[in-house]
Amino acid sequence: MAALTVWRFPTSEGAQAALDTLQDLQRQELITVQDGAVVSWPEGARKPKTRRLSTLTGMGALGGTFWGLLIGMLFFVPVLGMAMGAAAGATAGHFAHFGIDDDFIKQVRERVTPGTSALFVLSSHAVLDKVRPAFEGLQAELIETNLTAEQEAQLRETFTEED
C-alpha cells in the first residue's frame, strides 16, 4: 500500500533542505520513495515553483503528467476562477478515484501558501516511528492520504511514464 504525503515547511526553502533527510531515510531502508516533487512558494510570488524528485526515484515513477495535474489543481486552478470551475471539479473527482480526496486537497491548499514549501512524496514501506521523528526537527507538518492497493494500481496504470 502506498501513501501520498505532503511535508509542509514554514519557509520557502524548507522542503529543499529536507531532501537530505529523505535521501538518508531511503538509504537506511526506512522508506521507499516511488516519486515526488518539491514545491517552494517564495513570499510575494504569485505562484509556487515546482520540481520533480528524479534523483530519488527510479523506473515506474508516475511522471510529470501526474504531478502537473495534481499541483496545477492545488495551486493554479483556484487562481483561474470560475472559468475553469467545471474542469477543476472533473479533475478533482478523477483524483478521488485514486484516494486523493477533497479533504486532502483542501488541507494542502490551506497550508501550502506564499512563504512556505512542501515536499510531496509517493512512498511505501515507511517505518513511521522512524520517519516522522526525522522530519520533526525541520518544523515539518504532515498531510497524508493512504492509497489502497487498487487505487495505487489505477494511479500507476494512468500516470506511469515509460523511460
**DSSP assigned state of 150:** H
Residue 5 confidence (pLDDT) above 80: yes
Least confident of 7-11, 12-16, 61-65: 61-65
Round to whole Å and give the CA distance between 160 and 140: 28
* Helix spans in 97-148 (H): 102-111, 128-136
111, 156 Cβ separation under 8 angstroms: no
| DSSP H or E segment with residue 6 | strand 2-9
- CA 42, distance to chain mean position in Å, is 18
pLDDT of 54 reads: 67
pLDDT of 61 reads: 59
Region 124-149 average pLDDT: 88
Round to whole Å and give the CA distance between 34 and 58: 7
pLDDT of 77 reads: 56
Round to whole Å and give the CA distance between 42 and 31: 29
pLDDT of 93 reads: 55
Residue 59 confidence (pLDDT) above 60: no
* pLDDT tens readout for residues 67-126: 777 777 777 655 444 444 444 444 455 566 677 778 888 888 899 999 999 999 988 889
| DSSP H or E segment with residue 5 | strand 2-9
Question: Cell numbers 515546482 label which residue?
Answer: 50
Residue 4 confidence (pLDDT) above 60: yes
3, 27 Cβ separation under 8 angstroms: no
pLDDT of 86 reads: 45
Q: Which grid coordinates belong to 56?
A: 530519488
Region 60-70 average pLDDT: 68
Q: In terms of pLDDT, which residue wins out, 12 or 55?
A: 12
User: What one-character-per-residue DSSP string does 8-55 give?
Assistant: EESSTTHHHHHHHHHHHHHHTTS-EEEEEEEEE--TT-SS-EEEE-TT
Round to whole Å and give the CA distance between 111 and 10: 9
